[in-house]
Amino acid sequence: MTDSQEWWPADWGHYGGLFIRMAWHNAGTCRTADGRGGGGTGNQRFAPINSWPDNGNLDKAHGAGSTELVGPPPEGAPLEEMGLGWANRHGSGKGADATISGIEGAWKPHPTRWDMGYFDMLFGYEWELIKSPAGAWQWQARDCREEHLILDAHIPGLKHPPMMTTADLSLRFDPIYEPISRRFHQHPETFADAFARAWFKLTLRDMGPKCLYLGPEVPAEELLWQDPIPAVDHPLVDGAAIADLKERVAASGLSVAELVSTAWASASTFRGSDKRGGANGARVRLTPQKDWSVNQPEQLRRVLGVLEGIQRAFNASRGAGVRVSLADLIVLAGGVGVEQAAAAVGQALEVPFNPGRMDASQAQTDAASFAVMEPQADGFRNWQKGPMSVAAEHLLVDRAQLLGLSAPEMTVLVGGLRVLGASAGGSRHGVLTERPGVLSNDFFVNLLDMATTWAPVDEHGELFEGRDRRSGELRWSRSRVDLVFGSNSQLRAIAEVYAQSDGAERFVCDFVSAWVKVMDADRFDLTR
C-alpha cells in the first residue's frame, strides 16, 4: 500500500484511503428493499457502477482545478484510456493537480493514521464556509493552530488547515448526531468497536447467513442482522417418520390450497440477491411476517395452529430424540398438498423433501429488518397491495429473479399455483379451471383457448374478463399477470408446451421440480 506509482501517486504515499473507500463504495450499493447490490460480486468493475460520479478515482478528495477539465467516465472514455476514464487536463492531471470530487483538503492532521483526530478537529474549531479551487463549497477551520495544519498530500513543506463538508458538521450541530459523536470522541474504544461492527455489517450485508462465511477470521459472535437460525440439535426424521407425518397432515382436514399457500408464504420470501428469507427458521409464524396481508393472517394462524398440533403430537410420540421442526413440517405439508393434487389427475408421485430446517425465535428476528421484505406484489399469488407505478407482470419477473427462477420455472409455478387455489385471499382471478385443488394444466389450456376473447374491466387495465367468442357468455376473469403468459411471445411459447394434449404429465413434473427449488432455496447446507 505504500509503493506509490508515478502514474497515479498515492496521497501521503499511502494507498490505504483508496482501498478503504473502494470497499465502501463497492459494498454501499446494497439495498435493503430488495437485497440487490453490495460487494459480493465485485460489480463495481462493470457499467454502470464503474462510471458513477462518486466512484471517480476513489482515493482522493481533490479539487485542484475546474471540473470542466475532467473527461468522461470509463464507459464514455475513448479506447486508449483503457477503462480508466475521468482524464484530467489540469496540469499533470494527477497528484497535486488531481480534480475529482471538487472538494480539496483533508479532515485531520494525520490522514493515514487511525486516531481521534477527526473528532478533535470537528469539536475543536469554529468553521467558515469557503470554496475549493474547483468551486466546491466546503468548510475550513478558523484560526487553525500550527500543530493542526496538515501537510499537503504531494507538495513537500506545504500545509493546509483542516476542512469539513456540511455533512461532517452535521455530526456536531445536529441535535441527534451531536451527542452520539461526543460520546465516541470521549470514548475511543467504544468508537473503535462501533466502527468495526458497522464496517463488518456494511461489507457483509449481502453475503447471506453466517454459515456462508469462509476463512479463519469469521467471528464466533452471532449477530442479529445475520438472521440467525439455531443449529440442528436432534436426529432428523427418516423415511418412516416422514410417512407418519404425511399421514397426519393428510388427516388434518387442511385443504390443498391451505397447505400449498402456507408453504409458499414461508419459502417465497427468499432473495437470492442477499440470501435472506426462505422457509428455514419458520419466521412466517413470527412478527412481522405473520401479519403481512399477502399471507392471509387469519388463515395462516389457523393452518399453523393445526401444524403445530401435529408437530407436538409427533415429537411426543417419537423416541431417540427424533423431532420435526415447524419449518420442516410447513414445507413437508406443502408437499403433501402437491401430492394430493397430482393424485387427483392420476399422477402418483412423491415430492422430494430434505429435512434439516430449524425454528428461529422472535428474539433472533429483527422485525424492522424483516419489515422491508414484505412483498408489495406477488404475481405468483396474483396479489398486489395497492396501485403500483410498475406493471404487475414486470413485478412478477422481478420476484422470479429474486427467487432464482428461470422463465419456464416461473411459468409452471404460476400455472400450478393458480389451479391449486393458492392465490391470496382465495381470489378466483386467473384460476381458469373448473376443478380447483387439482394439479392440472387447465390454466394453460384455457389461457390459450381461441374461443375466448379478453377485455379489460377497469380503467387501469389490471383485471380482464374472458367471454365466449360466439355467445358473449362470461367464462373467466384474469389479471395482467395471467394474461402476460399469452401475450408475451417468449412466455407464450412456454405456455404452449404445457397446454398441448400431451403436456399434462410434463407440467406436473416440472411444477414439482420448480416447487422444490423454491422450498430449498435457502438450504445452503445442501449445496456446499
Q: Which residues are catalytic?
A: 25
Rounded Cα–Cα distance for residues 360 and 229 (Å): 5
Q: Which residue carries 378466483 as its cell?
A: 428
Whole-number Å distance between alpha carbons of 322 and 317 = 9
Residues 488 and 4: their CA atoms lie apart, in Å, by: 55
Nearest to 54 by CA among 105, 106, 104, 100: 100
Cβ atoms of 358 and 325 within 8 Å: the answer is: yes
At residue 137, the 3 state secondary structure works out as strand
Q: Which residues contact 171 (CB under 8 A, 6 or more apart)?
A: 122, 177, 178, 180, 181
User: Can you point out the beta strands (E) in 127-204?
Assistant: 127-131, 137-141, 150-151, 159-160, 163-164
What's the one-letter identity of residue 324? Answer: V
- 136 grid coordinates: 466546491
Closest CA to 303 of 274, 275, 334: 334
Give the pairing of strands 463-468 and 474-479: antiparallel
Q: Is the link from the previous residue into 297 a cis peptide, with omega within 30 of 0?
A: no
Peptide bond into 156 cis (omega under 30): no
**C-alpha cell belonging to residue 113:** 493514521
